[in-house]
Structure 1
């Protein structure tokens, strides 16, 4: 019997599956899904419609999803960005609208109730959030962009859609130092080890799978430990770290509960009793 597709990236249940899986998995019916976008700063994607379920990943403000089903206040969705599948509250969604014009290019920023830093903040936005700008203004020399909902964001904190925060994803990863570790987190407010890789690469105009096992299986090409250099990745079972230089790593980790920098050799020695030796090394291309 053929193994079932990876449920993280393929939407299927006994009663319902995405149209692309027709002929691959059995389901009561198949759907293409309805486009929608995320209307809250960060939405947790869970493996089942239950607030007590662990977080698999997160989707950010303005990111697109396909809604495959709605029931009891929950939506079953598939992310347009990385194909991740899961459940989130229907209240996190808005109808799909005009394509985003900009993306937040700093780790965190505020959406103010008006075009003035002295006005109350309506909500907070993470790096990578997609914005549709409908106007702009200036107050005391600071430019603001106006969002569809009427809120204002600092123009200097935004990049044109498709723009990058720089070409070196390791430098971008370094901007997250001391950001709290969060299992399943994928934002400037908290993130896990593989999200640090994915989010940093995204902001450098590159792509990476969401989870560390996916990254270890196919992101770039294998290299030997003695060949490690800046930008290479080190994998343990269930963990990934970024080489900042030939001897130092940056990683979101449960030891410091933050994004931290430490010598690779020290990390290997510290984690050996739990995770043994690294399982591989890869150079993203």
Structure 2
């Protein structure tokens, strides 16, 4: 598992169940000696095969969604029971339950990542075919062939399905400005726990945008407020802020796009939208208080 380079367990807690797979009856074998459990098991490698997989708090369809995994994400599976798998995402360490039908093997090494906010899967290299699926930015795929139909270039997958080649970039090729990536999601619906181009929340937007710029960060707002970059003094009337700085409230985060304006996925508009920082401080403060911190990634 690859945590951010500046992540320290002590910054959160060694027993944060969001980032450590342990229950009273079962736990990750790597935690033996640190937590109490009836049994310890090694995680079995698997990969997400659904476009978006909800990671839930409990193994029930009505349980709350904490976050989401995307097509191609690698996970470790600690238990499968009654249609649910208890997993830990390898990219950010998040633990929870996914439907076991959304898991597959790791037969093919990913070669490319989806770089458009959303894209379609076709049963073959022709945009006139009825689509066979859709993928979000951040999904990873294995490209085995290329094709061209009527001047449109396609990337072909092992299944024979095809994607628009221009919607992909090779793994390891990253965006130079994570804020520009975040701005691509303007108008995307707000979704609690959402982490995809189909619906996203505030910390999900930060995480996905930074991932596309080559930086893996933790998932939840409190984690980001503790581990991301360095604390920042915003100055009088927030005059010290610049593009890319992060503004935190209790349970919320926004990205500055310039000295005065921010972008955030928010429950006020139920969209990813722009808002003046001072307007947001006044509006949010009425119900939830002022900003709790500022950080420069």
TM interval, shorter chain, is over 0.9
* Whole-angstrom CA distance in 2 between matches of 1:170 and 1:183: 21
Q: Shift of the alpha carbon at 1:41? A: 0.3
Say if 2:178 and 2:209, in contact at 8 Å, map to a contact too.
yes
Say if 2:91 and 2:216, in contact at 8 Å, map to a contact too.
no
Pair 1:99-2:112 in alignment: no
Q: Which residue of 2 aligns with 1:183?
A: 192
Say if 1:4 and 1:25, in contact at 8 Å, map to a contact too.
no
Larger relative CO (CA 8 A, sep 6+): 1 or 2? 2
Secondary structure of the corresponding residue to residue 282 of structure 2: helix
Q: Shift of the alpha carbon at 1:98? A: 2.1
Q: Which residue of 2 aligns with 1:236?
A: 249
Q: Shift of the alpha carbon at 1:162? A: 1.8
TM-score (norm 2): 0.93
Partner of residue 37 from structure 1, selected from 36, 47, 52 = 47
Moved runs in structure 1, 4+ residues, more than 4 A?
A: none
Q: How many residues align?
A: 282
Q: Aligned-residue CA RMSD in angstroms?
A: 1.2
Q: Shift of the alpha carbon at 1:102? A: 0.6
Partner of residue 215 from structure 1, selected from 204, 224, 242 = 224
- 1:11-50 Cα deviation digits (max 9, x unpaired): 0011110112111101111122111101110000001101
Instruction: Structure 2 unaligned segments of length 5 or more: list them.
Output: 1-12
Q: Which residue of 2 aligns with 1:201?
A: 210
Q: Shift of the alpha carbon at 1:4? A: 6.1
* Whole-angstrom CA distance in 2 between matches of 1:175 and 1:4: 36
Q: Which residue of 1 aligns with 2:139?
A: 129
Say if 2:153 and 2:164, in contact at 8 Å, map to a contact too.
yes
- 1:233-260 Cα deviation digits (max 9, x unpaired): 0000000000001110000000000000
Secondary structure of the corresponding residue to residue 132 of structure 2: strand
TM-score (norm 1): 0.97
Instruction: Structure 1 unaligned segments of length 5 or more: list them.
Output: none
